Amino acid sequence: MYRVLLEKSYFPAVSDGPVEAISIGELLRRRAQAMGDAPALKALGYDGQIGRTWTFGQLLADAERLGRALASRHAPGARIAVYANNVPEWVLLEFGAALAGMVLVTVNPAFQKRELKYVLEQSRAEAIYYVEAFRGNPMRAIADEACDEVPAVGHRILMTDHAALFAGHEAGVLPQVSPHDVAQIQYTSGTTGFPKGALLHHHGLVRNAAALAARMDLKPGDIAVHNMPLFHTSGCGILVLGCVGVGATMLLAPAFDPGMIVEVIERERPRFVLGVPTMLVALTDEAERSGRDVSSVERMMSGGSMVAPDLARRAQAVFGAVVQIVYGQTEASPGITLGWHDDTLEDLTETIGQPLPDMEVAILHPRTGEVLPVGEQGEICTRGYHVMTGYNNNPEATAQAIDRDGWLHTGDLGRMDARGYLSVTGRVKEMIIRGGENLFPAEIENALLEHADIGEVAAVGVPDPVYGEQVACFMRASGERRPEARELKAFIRERLSPQKTPHYWIWVEAWPLTGSGKIQKFVLAEQFGRGEHETFQA
């Protein structure tokens, strides 16, 4: 740990050594030069069997070939969307776009037409690279339908069609790319109901992944299970860039399947596993149920939502591995704090660790911005290389998130002790975190208000032992009719992806209101917890 004794809740940037700013493409080039013949990527099938594989040298060769193909179609700085699950071509596109100086717009493969169309328009994407389908979601059909309404998207390319994917590679020329250029736009749900596109630069993503890998003690030649979604910074940032940065091998799973993953752990003997709490629960349950040998795992990282202390202890007991809790957000590339592998069990389970190197972290008063004394609750804020450039084409939201002094306001409430260890205590914002996914009530509420029988609606996060939180939807009818939960579920599923679908549906006659007439959502959550409402599930 960093040994400090703080009087105020401000942790200054600590350096672990000199840091060179490099691009994502340069990261891969250096790794290929140093470990060209070492295994970099092994693609798992849905049955857990290893299919295609790449050494670091082969990964660079294919990424450069794809980069030249992209350069033959798009100018540097062009925005190109990727709408796919965890296929190896996603990783090739991540590096290919970085080498070609393009901005990769990452899209959740669960998105429906409404969500996809918004992202394509807001990002000003001129191309989409997609797969046929994933988990029953007809992605190619959805993409084609959305693109028919977005004329700016001039290229639609099926990623498994390599003739189309690599077309033009003979003619394309790779440009010079600055580490401070924007590399990706990652969309996070917004309080207004419209997702915001965080502009993440090469240096922030590369350096952050390196810092997390170092604190996890990830080493050259290690094997890491990759079952996190690539569209998220945990997948394409922490895991892909972290593994490439140190020379570890990725076992890329097309989707999360605990039975398959535990079987792969027994066979391939990985040392590192990353998963949000719901994944950790499922993996621990499966390891106990199956009795498979998971003793190779020495490091487990979890975060994305609150990690219950009992879960961390149970996972450590079953796997014999240290569980290090990471805290961050997309806008921070994404890591802000992480526990140390040699921390006490109490620190590993009751805190979110110390800040990562080369960044400042403070607990600020939510209204005044004043740095608070040690131990007092305030807003967790951070400043440094890892902070996003801003929100795409949204200066108002950028100014709200990053203040004049450069502090990124996370919207999370927390405390810092004298050693610089942080704990999350609540949220300034109304965000719901379900299974590691950030959901904003306004987006769900706006979609439901399109239903003729709903006059008013409030989406609230309520505790759940598996997902951390579930969405509870409180509604007032616009007339006499009150649709059943099954109808409402079908209605919202036509508009939003599955994780945003409310789990509980509750009709109310009146709202608990503030003096200014605003709905008191915390009161609704308390009433739900006391069982004061009749709930329906579909």
What is the CB-side half-sphere exposure of residue 8 using CA atoms within 13 A? 11
pLDDT at 446: 81
In a 3-state reduction of DSSP, which class is residue 92? helix
Residue 305, pLDDT score? 65
- Token pair belonging to 198: 């965080």
Q: Is 170 exposed, middle or buried (0-12, 13-18, 19+ CB in 10 A)?
A: exposed
Measured distance CA(168)–CA(71) in Å, rounded: 8
According to the model, what pLDDT value does residue 282 have?
92
Cβ(309)–Cβ(227) below 8 Å: no
CA dist 24 and 236 (Å) reads 11
pLDDT at residue 194, rounded to an integer: 72
- Is the previous residue joined to 18 through a cis bond, with omega within 30 degrees of 0? no
- Cα diameter, the chain: 70
C-alpha to C-alpha distance for 143 and 83, rounded to whole angstroms: 8
CA distances from 529 to 277, 427, 460 (A): 22, 18, 12
Residue-level pLDDT at 455: 85
Instruction: Please tell me the predicted confidence (pLDDT) of residue 191.
Output: 43
Domain segments of the chain as ranges: 21-35+51-203, 432-529
Task: Give the closest residue to 5 by CA, choosing from 421, 424, 425.
Answer: 421
Measure the CA–CA gap between 479 and 87, rounded to whole angstroms.
Answer: 48
Pairwise CA distance, residues 139 & 151, whole Å: 18
Query: Token pair of 527, please?
Result: 């009433």
Structure token digits, residue 231: 């569209």
Identify the bridge partners of residue 134 per DSSP, sorted by sequence position: 137
Report the 10 Å Cβ neighbour count for 290.
Answer: 14
Select from 469, 465, 452 the least CA-distant residue to 503: 469
Six-digit token string for 21:
């700013």
Distances (CA, A) of 451 to 80, 329, 520: 34, 32, 23
103: left (phi over 0), alpha (psi -120 to 50) or beta: beta
Is there a contact between 320 and 293 (Cβ–Cβ < 8 Å)?
Answer: no
Common-topology check for domains 21-35+51-203 and 432-529: no
Which fold does the domain 432-529 belong to in CATH? GMP Synthetase; Chain A, domain 3 (3.30.300)
Q: Collect all residues with Cβ–Cβ distance below 8 Å to 304 and sequence separation of at least 6.
A: 234, 276, 277, 433, 435, 436, 437
User: What is the rounded distance in angstroms from the CA atom of residue 511 to the CA atom of residue 494?
Assistant: 28
Strands (E) across 240-372 are located at 249-252, 272-274, 299-303, 322-328, 335-338, 354-355, 359-364
Q: Which two tokens stand for residue 402?
A: 């990053």
Alpha carbon distance 113, 116 (integer Å): 5
In order of 278, 417, 520, the CA distances from 530 in angstroms are 25, 33, 16
CB neighbour class for 20 (10 Å; exposed up to 12, middle 13-18, buried from 19): exposed
Note down pLDDT in tens along the chain; length 538 residues.
999 999 999 999 999 999 999 999 999 999 999 999 999 999 999 999 999 999 999 999 999 999 999 999 999 999 999 999 999 999 999 999 999 999 999 999 999 999 999 999 999 999 999 999 999 999 999 999 999 999 999 999 999 999 999 999 999 999 999 999 999 999 986 444 578 999 999 999 999 999 999 999 999 999 999 999 999 999 999 999 999 999 999 999 999 999 999 999 999 999 999 998 889 989 999 999 999 999 999 999 998 766 778 788 899 999 999 999 999 999 999 999 999 999 998 999 889 999 999 999 999 998 889 999 999 989 999 999 999 999 999 999 999 999 999 999 998 889 999 999 999 877 676 778 898 887 878 789 888 989 999 988 999 999 998 899 999 999 999 889 999 999 999 999 999 999 999 999 999 998 887 554 568 888 899 999 999 999 999 8
Looking at domain 21-35+51-203, which CATH architecture does it have? 3-Layer(aba) Sandwich (3.40)
Surface-to-core class of residue 405, CB atoms within 10 Å of its CB (0-12 exposed, 13-18 middle, 19+ buried): exposed
Three-class secondary structure of residue 205 per DSSP: helix
In which residue are the tokens 């940065």 written? 245
**Helix 113-123 and helix 139-147: axis angle, to 10°?**
50
503: phi then psi, degrees, rounded to nearest 5: -90, -35
pTM over 0.75? The answer is yes
CB contact at 8 A, 402 and 447: no
**56-73 helix and 88-99 helix, angle to the nearest 10 degrees:** 60
| C-alpha to C-alpha distance for 39 and 249, rounded to whole angstroms | 6
How far, in Å, CA of 271 to CA of 220, rounded?
11
Residues in CB range of 399: below 8 A, 6 or more apart: none
Give strand pairing partners of 360.
383
DSSP 309-334: HHHHHHHHHHH--EEEEEEE-GGGSS
